[in-house]
A = this chain, B = another copy of it.
């Protein structure tokens, strides 16, 4: 009966739905406006295969960021599936995550343009690190809303993947200046770690009726 015990949390199918829809919208737009950085070269005369060469590093960076945003969308989706309650604080933590994700296209474009420079790779690392911190914060706020024995809390117990990612992103920033290839390797490596959807949450969800 007392619908809001812990910090203004409430069972709000609609709030959750609209937060998901808004997040989906923002992520969908981010994923697609990144493409605007891919504009084909404006060559005079015939467009040849050679004209495509400068597009290749941009395309690789675009692919990497597409996968990252896809991972965020996927994990965000699975996390909210396991959540029954939200709060005003959760909505703001979500906007905070979207803020950092919104910087991904600019960072991607810069790194794609200057793929052998240190600063763009470091900036990309900062954006990745802050996004991951924002995601962890959001996860914490959502878990705090669910009460002490929530499915979500059990699902992300320990959260080794999250902690490893945070550490690797933090390392990628100095690495960008020292061994440039190492920071690139980190970005690819962390993406691989997360490409698999969060089996922990899926596993726990499996014992319950689908949400």
A: residues with CB less than 8 A from B are 3-4, 8, 10-15, 18, 20-22, 24-33, 35-36, 38-40, 42-43, 46-49, 51-52, 63, 66, 70, 73-74, 77, 81, 88, 91-92, 95, 98-99, 102-103, 105-107, 109-110, 113-114, 117, 119-120, 123, 195-197, 202, 205-206, 209-211
Contact A28 B26 (CB under 8 A): yes
Contact B35 A33 (CB under 8 A): yes
Q: Which of A81, A106, A202 has the most CB of B within 10 A?
A: A106
| CB-CB nearest in chain B for A29 | B32
Contact A32 B92 (CB under 8 A): no
Main secondary structure of the interface of A (DSSP, over half): helix
- Residues in B neighbouring A46, C-beta threshold 8 A: 114, 117
Q: Could you show 9 A-B contacts with beta carbons less than 8 Å apart?
A: A14-B210, A22-B24, A26-B28, A30-B35, A33-B36, A35-B106, A48-B119, A52-B119, A70-B95
| CB-CB nearest in chain B for A35 | B102
Contact A40 B99 (CB under 8 A): no
- Residues in B neighbouring A14, C-beta threshold 8 A: 81, 210-211
